[in-house]
Amino acid sequence: MARSNFSVLTILTVTLLLPVLSLSFSPDSPSDRRLLVLLDDLSLKSSLSIFFNSLKSRGFDLDFKLADDPKLALQRYGQYLYDGLILFSPSIERFGGTLDLAAVLDFVDSGHDLLIAADSSASDLIKSVATECGVDFDEDPSALVIDHKSYAVAGTEGDHTLIAADDFIESDVLLGKNKIEAPVLFKGIAHSLNAANTLVLKVLSASPSAYSANPSSKLSSPPSLTGSSISLVSVIQARNNARIMITGSLDMFSNRFFRSSVQKAGSPKKYDKSGNEQFVTELSKWVFHERGHLKAVNLRHNKAGETDEPAMYRIKDDLDFSVEIYEWSGKSWEPYVADDVQVQFYMMSPYVLKTLSNDKKGLYHTSFKVPDVYGVFQFKVEYNRLGYTSLLLSKQIPVRPFRHNEYERFITAAFPYYGASFTMMAGFFIFSFVYLYHK
């Protein structure tokens, strides 16, 4: 009896949990997700509270843990427990539990998001994670970004390592439509982009006068990283649409930098508040798919003048094609409006390439004639645009030639052959008549 009651209780528990799990991992609500935040010290929860509260106010469920927690795990029973990972533990030498470098990379390879913030204490483990993502931190452990022209006037401490950076990427989808007026305060280590990785983007670059070196010692050789080749904040969108943000400054997320006033050296204008909060908030919206996340639905095609989708087309048929594309706004799906979405009618190579028109309500459509080639074709939509999740849709459809009774009775191009045939018959008749009756 006790065993029976236990079985019933287990079934009821699983039944109640299944809707919760399915909601947590629903692709139709990409920003309703759980984030695991790994910290070196739990005191960071208070010193970075503005940033964390911003995430919570936007519907994220944050799970704070120490990076060396022996019970750390990203998945259980083959199912991931989190949709995003925030590594605010730059000095960690080894993760706790089942988490390691391979587990973090598998997490990203499974389509999940990652945010990494390092500083001057960055360990080899954190640098290895960044390297695998296409970003290389300065190998000198004592080096910081130094800029003698674009430093922040307040609190320079004479070493010019507190940078006032304002070289942002020009992208509304990454940084929002509202321009960031105030410079961003940055104090940390430099990194460069791996030239072999074409997916990495510099979101915040250092000025041409910046370089990476030890601020407490004189330069004995030219620094390895200089000028605008130094990236302060970089992002990556993988081919599976997983998003990664990497920066060498944990202080950039701190309450102190969020609330600090800023004045860039050489500029007479002083801002009461740095651009850190706006910059970090807007960029985190992109990283965690609150912006720039597209979905395509209702791919349809039919013969012109009809509504039903046919099993196959005939060469030279006129057809209509349509697809609906929407963008996640953070709360709901809104129509995506663009003029560069194209469809291919594809068999080994595109026979037809058409730019789709849109009705400003998310519906993209076009019409074209099936090429005079039969075989197995695909309607293919491949859409890749900076900052947006990529779309890849395809639908297979066969194309047949004309049947024997579908050709025109008389083909205009064959008129010379018709004339030649009748001329030949007339000539034979005249020749026969003359041959038989001529004396």
Whether 53 and 46 have beta carbons less than 8 Å apart is answered as: no
Residue type, 17: L
Residue owning tokens 């600090």: 260
- Cα distances from 233 to residues 35, 177, 254, 404, in angstroms, run 21, 19, 15, 65
Strand partners, 135: 193
Nearest one of 156, 290, 165 to 234, comparing CA atoms: 165
78: Cβ–Cβ under 8 A, 6 or more apart, which residues? none
**Is the pLDDT at 21 greater than 60, yes or no?**
no
**Is the pLDDT at 267 greater than 90, yes or no?**
no
DSSP labels, 313-370: EETT-EEEEEEEEEEE-SSSEEE---S--EEEEEESEEEEEEEPEE-SSSEEEEEEEP
3-state DSSP helix/strand/coil % of the chain, to nearest 5: 25, 30, 45
pLDDT at 325: 94
| Residues making up the chain, counted from first to last | 439
**Is the pLDDT at 254 greater than 70, yes or no?**
yes
Residue 12 CB: number of other CB atoms within 10 A? Answer: 10
Task: Give percent of the chain above pLDDT 70.
Answer: 92
Lowest average pLDDT, out of 113-117, 233-237, 327-331, 408-412, goes to 408-412
pLDDT-based confidence at 159, cuts 50/70/90? Answer: confident
Q: Which two structure tokens, joined as six digits, stand for 33?
A: 């997700």
Whether 119 and 248 have beta carbons less than 8 Å apart is answered as: yes
Q: Which two structure tokens, joined as six digits, stand for 388?
A: 């947006």
CA distance 65 to 96: 10
**Is the pLDDT at 25 greater than 60, yes or no?**
no
What is the overall mean pLDDT for the chain?
A: 87
pLDDT-based confidence at 202, cuts 50/70/90? Answer: very high
pLDDT in tens, 318-374: 999 999 999 988 888 999 999 899 999 999 899 999 999 998 898 999 999 999 999
pLDDT at 404: 77
**Is the pLDDT at 4 greater than 80, yes or no?**
no
Residue type, 203: V
Instruction: State the Cα angle at 90 between 84 and 91, rounded to 5°.
Output: 135
Residue 220 CB: number of other CB atoms within 10 A? Answer: 7
Lowest average pLDDT, out of 10-14, 64-68, 410-414, 434-438, goes to 10-14
Whether 266 and 149 have beta carbons less than 8 Å apart is answered as: yes
CA distance 170 to 176: 10
Q: Which two structure tokens, joined as six digits, stand for 350?
A: 């595109």
pLDDT in tens, 377-407: 999 999 999 999 999 999 999 999 988 777 7
Nearest one of 46, 56, 51 to 252, comparing CA atoms: 51
pTM of the model: 0.82
pLDDT at 158: 72
- Cα distances from 418 to residues 22, 404, 429, in angstroms, run 70, 19, 17
pLDDT at 28: 61
**Mean pLDDT within 125-133:** 93
Strand partners, 313: 399
Q: Which two structure tokens, joined as six digits, stand for 424?
A: 């030949």
pLDDT-based confidence at 144, cuts 50/70/90? Answer: very high
pLDDT at 17: 42
CA dihedral 355, 360, 364, 365 (to 10 degrees): -80
Q: Which two structure tokens, joined as six digits, stand for 207?
A: 């000025």
Task: Give percent of the chain above pLDDT 90.
Answer: 60
CA distance 220 to 132: 30
pLDDT at 1: 43
- Cα distances from 368 to residues 208, 303, 318, 357, 395, in angstroms, run 51, 10, 6, 13, 16
The backbone torsions φ and ψ at residue 126, rounded to the nearest 5 degrees and listed phi first, read -65, -40
User: What is the radius of gyration, based on Cα positions, of the chain?
Assistant: 32
pLDDT-based confidence at 8, cuts 50/70/90? Answer: very low
Q: Which two structure tokens, joined as six digits, stand for 49?
A: 């509270």
- Which H helix or E strand runs over 244? strand 243-247
pLDDT-based confidence at 2, cuts 50/70/90? Answer: very low
pLDDT at 31: 55
Residue type, 330: G
Instruction: State the Cα angle at 86 between 85 and 92, rounded to 5°.
Output: 110
pLDDT at 157: 58
**Mean pLDDT within 77-97:** 91
Greater confidence, 8 or 207? 207
CA distance 157 to 274: 18
pLDDT at 16: 40
pLDDT in tens, 213-247: 988 888 878 888 899 899 999 999 999 999 999 99
Q: Helix 124-132 and helix 101-109: axis angle, to 10°?
A: 30
The backbone torsions φ and ψ at residue 207, rounded to the nearest 5 degrees and listed phi first, read -80, 165
Strand positions, DSSP E, 356-411: 357-358, 363-369, 375-383, 391-400
pLDDT at 14: 40
pLDDT at 20: 39
- Cα distances from 417 to residues 406, 414, 424, in angstroms, run 20, 5, 10
